[in-house]
Chain A
């Protein structure tokens, strides 16, 4: 394995931050302190963390409605994210986007996206811009199994494969498209096989295993950067919470969820792996847990104290006005 101790601790910190961030949001929404629709990433943390560990600020990420994990893994400031979720002027989009539109131009985060599949062509175009401008950057599109039934998915894969664009398509197959089991609406067992129609390379990773995702995403990103074309990387994962906060979960068996949660939790798995191999100490991880909690608590305090956007913001940013 090529990860240093520092890199492992950083990966754990990201995994833990995503988990704790989402748990905090769940708490805030359930307590009625935060509004808006929330789609939690709990259970899928290893995917965003494993993929984004390979990315820098010149690289682009297009995210989804379940996007907080991607944003955190891509380096977006969690204080600005929390403020955005509270709809405050100090948020990433000055409180004008909310959960499903967290975007950060400094970090190459093109944005979470409330339309299923819409981010896929955006990442494809960003990849084309990187290629034409010769920046050496790559673009990653995250999306769920449901998005692979959208036309935009197929249109994008066709173009990216045809033009060998530096893009990696990461499908987070969590077994459900909203409230419908994937195998009710998808005839193929592995979504990765859909790449075959476009003569595109594909790969399947255990989305509950940071190291498996890290390795396979690393190869896909290396190839994209080297001009060897795109990859469809399917990460098999599971949504521990429902589709959204408030989902009664009537469509899936309790035992199924418990099995994933008890036996395949990506954080527990990571911890077991690194402790067993004696790569880090348990104390290191507990210190990170503690720091993450403190950081989040402070972010909530700051966000709650921050002002909402001024009324004039209702009418700004529609047109450029005065620019260029």
Chain B
């Protein structure tokens, strides 16, 4: 039996980075406070001590410059792993991500393909207010050439991060910070990867397909338990990879249940749920028994004091599930 340990998400991510740094001497970790301090959420703690200040270093507070420079490092043959301290801070680097990183392979006819992975904590529920709470997955999923990955627990965090680091494509790796410490599990301490582009069937069910990712998966689990108490059998799927996404698994599930609800923290309009609903209805139309539902944040800036009402709660999700099943 391989050795295991009880790790939270922060520890699992740090463990993955440690494994990867050891394997790939071209790997370099950079970002705001990632070196001496070990990152505001401590994910990179101990890495500079172990791998030195050339391979794990602190940058100025300059996201466009950090990401642009990381792309140049990738062009020069390094394997940069960038931390953007909060996903809300990623927007100054949006140009470099969508115009340079995502398109380099295509526009150079395959000559250049900088391998840059950008990790960033995202999501609400920690009283972070407008600029420490947002969920920007849809912006990046709308940019072909990028992969967008969101783990929902320590086992997935480590396996998906290592899978993403082995992948030759640029990856936006969104870490649900609300469950950084609360999501704990017994996970292998050895190196392992999980495949990208594959959704995870969390629980089988017959009445409706419930799809979520990141911290919302945990809220959905609460809702599934509540629904069970009322006699409803929910199939729960963790999407994990937002782009490209595993349409096959969703269609197979909805073909069986005839119903689907998607849950995310981001606003509803043009949120990633819109894509899932559109794609699933096109593939599973003949099997549908109710309109496909989105349960999401509101079309407002992310609120401060009212965030508990903004974020989908287990009760709100339960209501949506019941209404859809009873449609």
Contact = CB atoms under 8 A, between A and B. Distances in A.
Interface string A80-106: 000000000001111111000101110
Interface stretch (B14-22, B101-109, B264-272): B101-109
A148 to B, nearest CB: 14
A253 interface: no
Contact of B99 (A95, A115, A124, A155): A115
A155 B60 contact: yes
Interface stretch (B66-74, B173-181, B217-225, B303-311): B66-74
Interface in B65-116: 65-78, 80, 92, 95-96, 99-100, 104-113
A137 B65 CA distance: 21
Contacts of A60: 75-76
Contacts of A152: 64-65, 68, 96
B29 to A, nearest CB: 12
Interface stretch (B42-50, B163-171, B184-192): B163-171
A162 interface: yes
Contacts, number: 154
B105 A104 contact: no
A115 B95 CA distance: 9
A130 B72 CA distance: 10
Interface string B176-209: 0000000000000000000000000000000000
Nearest to A316: B110
A122 B66 CA distance: 10
B166 A96 contact: no
A311 interface: no
Given A151-B64, A319-B169, A324-B166, A125 B71 contact: yes
A167 B100 CA distance: 20
B28 interface: yes
Contact of B60 (A104, A110, A162): A162
B62 interface: yes
Contacts of B95: 115, 118
A296 B104 CA distance: 28
Contacts of B121: none
A132 B78 contact: yes
A126 interface: yes
B145 interface: yes
Contacts of A104: 111
A122 B100 contact: yes
B62 A130 contact: no
Interface string A21-34: 00000000000000
A111 B77 contact: no
B4 interface: no
Contact of B64 (A114, A123, A155, A319): A155
Interface string B279-314: 000000000000000000000000000000000000
Given A125-B75, A320-B169, A94 B109 contact: yes
A121 B95 CA distance: 12
A129 B68 contact: no
B69 A159 contact: yes
Contacts of A93: 107-109, 111
Given A111-B108, A118-B96, A133-B77, A125 B62 contact: no
Contact of A320 (B74, B75, B167): B167
Size bracket, chain B contacts: 35 or more
A120 B68 contact: yes
A129 B76 contact: yes
Nearest to A104: B111
A139 interface: yes
B145 A125 contact: no
A105 B108 contact: yes
A120 B95 CA distance: 13
Contact of A151 (B75, B80, B92, B108): B92
A204 interface: no
A156 B108 contact: no
Interface in B100-151: 100, 104-113, 144-145, 147
Contact of B69 (A95, A103, A128, A324): A128
A319 B81 CA distance: 19
Nearest to B73: A125
B69 A317 contact: no
B34 to A, nearest CB: 15
Contact of A125 (B54, B76, B92): B76
Given A124-B68, A151-B92, A92 B77 contact: no
Nearest to B244: A319
B255 to A, nearest CB: 27
Nearest to B113: A320
A116 to B, nearest CB: 10
Nearest to B197: A319
Which among A91, A113, A122, A158 has the highest number of chain B CB atoms within 10 Å? A122
13 contacts: A95-B109, A103-B107, A103-B112, A113-B100, A121-B67, A121-B69, A122-B68, A124-B69, A129-B75, A129-B77, A130-B76, A159-B62, A159-B65
Interface of B: 28, 54-55, 59-60, 62, 64-78, 80, 92, 95-96, 99-100, 104-113, 144-145, 147, 166-169, 244
When A and B form their complex, which 10 residue pairs have the shortest distance between CB atoms, in order from nearest? A125-B72, A121-B68, A129-B76, A155-B65, A93-B109, A320-B168, A94-B109, A125-B69, A155-B62, A122-B72
Given A93-B107, A122-B71, 14 more contacts: A95-B109, A101-B108, A110-B112, A111-B104, A121-B72, A125-B73, A125-B75, A126-B73, A129-B75, A152-B96, A155-B62, A158-B65, A162-B60, A316-B110
